[in-house]
Structure 1
């Protein structure tokens, strides 16, 4: 799990506000550099003149600063103001970036942009937080309005065939740095009739200096999608699919591909 923080849900916003300061520790093993390099390859193949990128569900902004370092002009939108503040503060580590990313609050279903972008991305399975077709349709319409003619939408989401085959279960993640120690227990519950997944997290956080332990819970409500569902809804909103592939090797999706990367062009 990761950047999932952009659905119109005030309770979920509070969850991400609470964990914003520990977010990067939770996902320290995520290879953002490799993902941005792969995304840059997709851009080079599709339209090497791409300059402007909108990132929906930007989280703490790591993708955005890495893209900006490559010369792209990036705007990030996220539901959590605390996440956005971490993203803004991250700029101190990138003093030589010419086009510094801008960050603002918004949701997948209700965001609006003044300018049109060459590329819209929504990574780390954020789209799976859209639990029904109405939400997906609203997202697609907003993206279409934000893209230049012929622009590209790239997103990943939980892939229906893989979720049905593998099924969510219980996992334990243990992490620590110089300041905190964190244990996260996740328990997934899958409704195969509605393709919905509810993931309950219990997090135990120890502050090393104080020796205090904090416990809190998160609830994540997601949906897995099938290719024909995405094609139909996005097609209704003026998109055509140009690829569905696995990260990094561009191979076709399979029942082992929990997260699949999709590309849709605005017609």
Structure 2
């Protein structure tokens, strides 16, 4: 959860594939013939994708555990879209919407912030309960390859004119397939000095078959699994795994 670093999150995500997530969502809607969807963006962050979805004419609400992120999302969407967004602070494992939605999206590996198996299971059950009959769940997660081979001892630095970032990742010793991201931001102030923010984030992933089993146990059907924004079967070196699942019309 971003707290101190929420204000510079968009800098960190400057090259994030938001257009790809948008296309992925639109492709699903077109495939299902849903023209006026209600969408819940779970882990919406600072609202960049939510703003893009609203611009497409969709009815979207945003859920995030960080009030700081949602405050930025509110300001962004009001400025970009000219509407007052529906935003709510909730943990996705205890999700409770006012009304079921047609589509639920959980992108940008937001689900990987749930570290315990029970939390993921609870989240899938909550997603199921908050979808309309026949509704779709779309989410992505870091692959085991990404978590085991790419993240451990990863180091990155970026120095801009107004914001600088140092990012280091380490494996969690007491938890399998999990890493800790140590983020340090330096943000330039009006007086020319820099304010430092430190964030510590932990993420964990599980095998594809485990996610599939948990989805099935929650009641989801028609589960499709692909990789890296492409309609292809995941390989041993795929980095981002995509799941699409549907709530049954009848239990």
Give me the TM-score of the superposition, normalised by structure 1. Answer: 0.84
Question: For 1:79, which of 36, 61, 65 is the aligned residue?
Answer: 65
Indicate the residue corresponding to 1:29 in structure 2: 15
Q: Which moved more, 1:77-86 or 1:161-170?
A: 161-170
Q: Aligned-residue CA RMSD in angstroms?
A: 2.2
Range with greater deviation from structure 2 (180-189 or 101-110): 180-189
Name which of structure 1's ranges 77-86 and 203-212 shifts more when overlaid on structure 2. Answer: 203-212
Tell me, which stretches of 5 or more residues in structure 1 are unaligned? 6-15
The aligned counterpart of 1:62 is 48
The residue number in structure 2 matching 1:150 is 134
Q: Please give the per-residue CA displacement for 1:122-156, whole angstroms capped at 9, x wherever unaligned.
A: 11001111112210111011111110011110011
- Cα distance in structure 2, aligned partners of 1:135 and 1:141: 10
The residue correspondences of 1:116-131 to structure 2 (distance < 5 A) are 116-131=100-115
How far apart, CA to CA, are the structure 2 residues paired with 1:193 and 1:135?
A: 15
Matches within 5 A, 1:89-128: 89-95=75-81, 101-128=85-112
CA distance in 2, matches of 1:197, 1:123: 18
CA distance in 1, matches of 2:125, 2:210: 16
Which residue of structure 2 aligns with residue 42 of structure 1? 28
Change over 3 Å in CA distance of 1:256–1:101 after alignment to 2: farther
Matched, 1:231 2:207: no
Q: Distance in 1 between matches of 2:57 and 2:101?
A: 15
Q: Of the candidates 169, 179, 188, which is equivalent to residue 207 of structure 1?
A: 188
Summarize the Cα distance change of 1:166–1:22 in structure 2 as closer, same or farther, 3 Å threshold. closer
The offset of 1:181, in angstroms, is 2.6
Q: Distance between the aligned counterparts of 1:58 and 1:124, measured in 2?
A: 9
CA distance in 2, matches of 1:81, 1:67: 21
Give a deviation string over 1:179-230, Cα, whole Å, max 9, x none. x2312131221559722222223x1414164232333432211111211101
Residue aligning to 2:168: 186
Query: SS at the partner of 1:184?
Result: strand
Q: Does 1:176 align with 2:157?
A: no
